[in-house]
Structure 1
Amino acid sequence: MIPYGKQQLDAADLAAVQEVLQSNWLTQGPKVPAFEQAIADYCQVSFAVAVNSATSALHIACLALGVGPGARVWTSPNSFVASANCALYCGATVDFVDIELDSGNMSVAALEEKLRLAQRQNQLPKVVIPVHFAGQSCDMQAIAALAEQYGFHIIEDASHAIGARYQNQPVGNCRYSDITVFSFHPVKIITSGEGGMTTTQNPKLARKMQMLRSHGITSEATELTEPSHGVWYYQQQLLGFNYRLTDIHAALGLSQFSKLDSFVSARQQLVEHYNQAFNRYAEIKPLSQHPDSYSSYHLYVVRLISLTQEQHKVCVGYLRQHGIVGHLHYTPIYLQPYYQQLGFKAGYCPQAENYYQQAVTLPLFPGLTPEAQQFVVTTLSAFLEQ
């Protein structure tokens, strides 16, 4: 089977992990801060905080911004459930902003309209979480302008977008947000096995996230509420979590990071070949790309605009029958059974549902051979022509 995505490991990655396994540090050693510094430098940001998953990163980002009972968090329905679950973990309520059909990203027009209505009802969000779907940044300048007008914080969910750029600046620099979140799951651009990272320019947010990832504990003398009892002394000041990244994972992430730009370049080339191959089909619509964005292309998604919902389902099955893991990213979050129990109904975000009925994710990863990619093109073409 040709997967829709997979990790690309080499001898250097294996050696990096082996080095840690043979060292004195398996958990909280030197590799974690080195990985954080590498990401911070790359993103041109002051602080990076490594954690054990992007889900954990989203959770502590919300907590650092004061999300709790009574707060409202808005995000995109076109994402993995973690983008919304993080608000519920904090006891807040979650709501969804419809997307642009062509890009899959949060619609600025829909956000603005929803904010106007929420202001009249005194129900404005505390935090908005735009999701950089498939590796392309949302229109962050426009979203930040709305944040200034309506008084909400921004967490960029860039789980798909390490290595991407917006307005020729790296995604993660937090120019238009309070915090950015990255994922290093094996199907993402680079991997640490499991792992996530937050970036921020705000030292207070960074320090709070550092404490939240490690049980809410500090041993910093300047933060203690009483004189230290000894070199061993620490205090728990927050109800935190064990969300720490290990040195084993950080070593793999750091080794993978050295190949980040080459991985993104390879993905760009594969996408160009796909787009050229599908150009003759009016019914195949790749995601549109904003001129201000340089996508890291975590996913390659096409919309099959001429298919019925049943034909769409048959298409994904046809690909899998022929050895290609066609996939769908994503079912709108609010259509999941858990969110239906919270009162969300079909029709809530019409564009997200239109997208859901048309989208197919095709294989995309640096190790995809020209022969395998051509097989994907030929197989999808055969389905559409039958």
Structure 2
Amino acid sequence: MIPYGRQDIQQADIDAVLEVLQSDFLTQGPMVPRFEQCIANHVGAKHALAVNSATSALHIACLALGLGKGDWLWTSPITFVASANCGLYCGAQVDFVDIDSRTYNLCPDALEAKLQKAEQEERLPKVLVAVHLCGQPCDMQAIHALSQRYGFRIIEDASHAIGGKYQEEFIGSGRYSDITVFSFHPVKIITTAEGGMALTNDDTLASRMNLLRSHGVTRDPALMTHEADGPWYYQQVELGFNYRMTELQAALGVSQLERLGDYVARRNALAERYDEKLADLPVVTPWQHPYSYSGRHLYVIRLKLDEISVSHRQAFEALREQGIGVNLHYIPVYTQPYYQPLGFQHGNFPEAERYYAEAISVPLYPTMSEAEQDLVIAALRKALGL
């Protein structure tokens, strides 16, 4: 089976983790702050806070921005459920904005139209989660301009996008958002096994997220409500969570980060080769905006169903039968059973539904060989009946 994604663990990674295992710290030691500083320095952000998953990062990001009961969070329907669930965790209501037909990201034109209507109905969002699907950044400049006009805050869900760039700046720099979130799940661009990170240039947001990831407990006298009883003293100043990253994960992350540029370059080279080799097939290959440099976490093709004799499902299953571990990223969130009672219906976001009816994620990972890629292409030809 050729998987759609695969981590690359080298001896340097193993050595880094073993060094921590032989040290005095497994949870809260020097490696997590080092990993945070390395990421912050790399992308040009002021603060980076490591947590145990990108989902946790999204949750504390929403809380830090004050999202709560009676508020709205908007995001893309084509994303993993965590991008929307983080709003529900906070007691907020969730809605979606349809995608752009070329980038598959949240569409700024659809967003503007929805904001105009929401303003009239007095139900504007408090937070917008802009998802950089497959690693390609959203049109953040346009989204940021709308945030200034309509007063919402922005979280970049860059779970797919570390190492990519928007307008010549690394994603995560925070020029057009309040908080950016990265994922380090094994199939992502670099891995800490599980793990995530929230980045911001805002001191207040960073302080709040730091509290929230660790039970709401602090030893900082500036954050305490009264003077410490002694050197052992700490205070819980709000209701937080145990979302901390371990030293083992951080050590793996520091080691992996050294190869980030190479990983992204290889992903782009393989994607460009797919573009070339698939040009004569009845599929739509991923369009790339000229002002962005994608992390290329995923390579999604869309079947031209009117030009082939097999269905979307038949093509997918035929690829799996040939040992090609294709996947589908993603099922529109609002069609999930949990979201159906919230009032969503099929047809609410037609571009997202057209995408779902045609999309297949084919294998792409930095250690993939051209021979393996050729096997994927040959299997795709066969699956399409060519």
Q: CA deviation at 1:52?
A: 0.2
- Name the aligned partner's letter for residue 288 of structure 2: Q
Give the aligned partner of residue 5 of structure 2: 5
Q: Within 2, Cα distance between the matches of 1:293 and 1:376?
A: 27
Deviations 1:143-182 (A, max 9, x none): 0000000000000000000001000000001100000000
In structure 2, the residue corresponding to 1:77 is in which secondary structure? coil
**Contact 1:101–1:354, Cα closer than 8 Å, also in 2:** no
Q: Within 2, Cα distance between the matches of 1:292 and 1:68?
A: 35
In structure 2, the residue corresponding to 1:197 is in which secondary structure? strand
- Name the aligned partner's letter for residue 109 of structure 2: A
Q: Within 1, Cα distance between the matches of 2:51 and 2:268?
A: 28
Deviations 1:74-132 (A, max 9, x none): 00000000000000000000000000122110000000000000000011000000100
Give the aligned partner of residue 67 of structure 2: 67
**Contact 1:104–1:287, Cα closer than 8 Å, also in 2:** no
Give the aligned partner of residue 118 of structure 1: 118
- Name the aligned partner's letter for residue 372 of structure 1: E
Give the aligned partner of residue 365 of structure 2: 365
- Name the aligned partner's letter for residue 161 of structure 1: A
Where does structure 1 lack aligned partners over 5 or more consecutive residues? Answer: none
- Name the aligned partner's letter for residue 174 of structure 2: C
Q: Within 2, Cα distance between the matches of 1:100 and 1:274?
A: 22
In structure 2, the residue corresponding to 1:63 is in which secondary structure? helix
Give the aligned partner of residue 292 of structure 2: 293
**Contact 2:305–2:312, Cα closer than 8 Å, also in 1:** no
**Contact 1:135–1:161, Cα closer than 8 Å, also in 2:** yes
Matches within 5 A, 1:1-386: 1-281=1-281, 283-306=282-305, 311-386=311-386
**Contact 1:32–1:50, Cα closer than 8 Å, also in 2:** yes
Q: Within 2, Cα distance between the matches of 1:54 and 1:162?
A: 12
Q: Taking structure 1 as reference, are residues 43 and 309 closer, same or farther at Cα in structure 2, changes over 3 Å only?
A: farther
Q: Taking structure 1 as reference, are residues 70 and 310 closer, same or farther at Cα in structure 2, changes over 3 Å only?
A: farther
Q: Within 1, Cα distance between the matches of 2:291 and 2:202?
A: 25
**Contact 2:58–2:86, Cα closer than 8 Å, also in 1:** yes
**Contact 1:54–1:195, Cα closer than 8 Å, also in 2:** yes
- Name the aligned partner's letter for residue 312 of structure 1: H
**Contact 2:73–2:93, Cα closer than 8 Å, also in 1:** yes
**Contact 2:60–2:209, Cα closer than 8 Å, also in 1:** yes
**Contact 2:217–2:240, Cα closer than 8 Å, also in 1:** yes
Deviations 1:258-283 (A, max 9, x none): 110000011011101111001122x2
Q: Within 2, Cα distance between the matches of 1:250 and 1:12?
A: 14
Q: Within 1, Cα distance between the matches of 2:142 and 2:203?
A: 25
Q: CA deviation at 1:231?
A: 1.2
Where does structure 2 lack aligned partners over 5 or more consecutive residues? Answer: none
Q: TM-score, normalised by structure 2?
A: 0.98
**Contact 1:49–1:209, Cα closer than 8 Å, also in 2:** yes
Q: CA deviation at 1:384?
A: 2.1
Q: CA deviation at 1:309?
A: 11
Q: Taking structure 1 as reference, are residues 309 and 180 closer, same or farther at Cα in structure 2, changes over 3 Å only?
A: farther
Q: CA deviation at 1:224?
A: 1.4
Q: Within 1, Cα distance between the matches of 2:12 and 2:341?
A: 47
**Contact 1:319–1:379, Cα closer than 8 Å, also in 2:** yes
> Which shows bigger deviation, 2-11 or 218-227?
218-227
Q: CA deviation at 1:306?
A: 2.3
- Name the aligned partner's letter for residue 87 of structure 2: A
CA RMSD of aligned residues (A): 1.1
- Name the aligned partner's letter for residue 294 of structure 1: Y
> Which shows bigger deviation, 97-106 or 301-310?
301-310
**Contact 2:305–2:311, Cα closer than 8 Å, also in 1:** no
Q: Within 1, Cα distance between the matches of 2:285 and 2:146?
A: 29
Q: Within 1, Cα distance between the matches of 2:383 and 2:58?
A: 39
Q: Within 2, Cα distance between the matches of 1:383 and 1:321?
A: 9
Q: Within 2, Cα distance between the matches of 1:313 and 1:88?
A: 32
Deviations 1:9-37 (A, max 9, x none): 10000000000001000000100000000
Once the two structures are aligned, what percentage of the paired residues are identical?
54
**Contact 2:309–2:385, Cα closer than 8 Å, also in 1:** no
Deviations 1:243-299 (A, max 9, x none): 000001000011101110000011011101111001122x21112111111001000
- Name the aligned partner's letter for residue 297 of structure 1: R
In structure 1, the residue corresponding to 2:324 is in which secondary structure? coil
**Contact 1:57–1:198, Cα closer than 8 Å, also in 2:** yes
Q: Within 2, Cα distance between the matches of 1:251 and 1:241?
A: 22
In structure 2, the residue corresponding to 1:357 is in which secondary structure? helix
In structure 1, the residue corresponding to 2:360 is in which secondary structure? strand
Q: Within 1, Cα distance between the matches of 2:337 and 2:39?
A: 36
Deviations 1:45-64 (A, max 9, x none): 10000000000000000000
Counting matched residue pairs gives 385
